[in-house]
Structure formats: structure tokens, C-alpha cells
Homo-oligomer: A and B are copies of this chain.
Amino acid sequence: MLYHVTMDVKIPQDLPAAERADILAREKAYSQDLQRQGKWRHIWRVAGHYANVSIFDVRDNAELHEILSALPLFPFMEIKVTPMLRHPSAIREDDS
């Protein structure tokens, strides 16, 4: 099942550099692991912003929440979730 998720990152200026680097490294590993599993299906950078637009393909609302709330950057992001489904005009097999 598909969800459209936007994530805006706001890391406080006073977060120590080492802690910041650690969080970002864990975030990247976490994201790439989920991408490999096929659960984080797409991720794009928004031009000019420290933000991304992502598409998740998970079992249900609970699994989506479990994944998002475990993001290392979760305490530093504004997240917006939109449930989606196959569009009747879609022709691409994997857009559902």
C-alpha cells in the first residue's frame, strides 16, 4: 500500500557536530536498508530545501508509523503523510 510522505529537516544550530554527523549517517543507512527491502520505494530531494519527497510501500498504517517514528531524524523533521492508491489512468505496472 502506497503513502506519499514529505519530510522537512530542521536540525537545531546548536546540535554538536559529532552528534549531527552520527544521526545523518544512521539516517542514510536506515533509509537505504528500507529502500533495498522495497518499503521505501522512492526518495527525491526538493530543489533548494533540506527536504525530501518519498513514496512508501508498506503493509498498513501501523507499519508506516513504525518506520517513520524510528527515523534517526524523526525528532528534527516535519512530516506530512498522504495515503495514495493506483490512479485509473496509470499504465506503469509498479505504480500501485
Residue positions of A touching B, CB distance < 8 A? 1-5, 12-13, 27-28, 31-32, 35-36, 41-50, 52-53, 55, 60-62, 64-65, 68-69, 75, 79-92, 95
Contact = CB atoms under 8 A, between A and B. Distances in A.
Contacts of A83: 3, 46-48, 61, 64, 81, 83
**Dominant secondary structure at the A interface:** mixed
A73 to B, nearest CB: 11
Given A35-B90, A49-B81, A52-B87, 19 more contacts: A1-B62, A3-B47, A3-B61, A12-B13, A27-B89, A28-B89, A41-B92, A42-B55, A44-B55, A44-B90, A45-B85, A47-B82, A48-B68, A48-B79, A48-B83, A49-B79, A62-B85, A65-B85, A83-B83
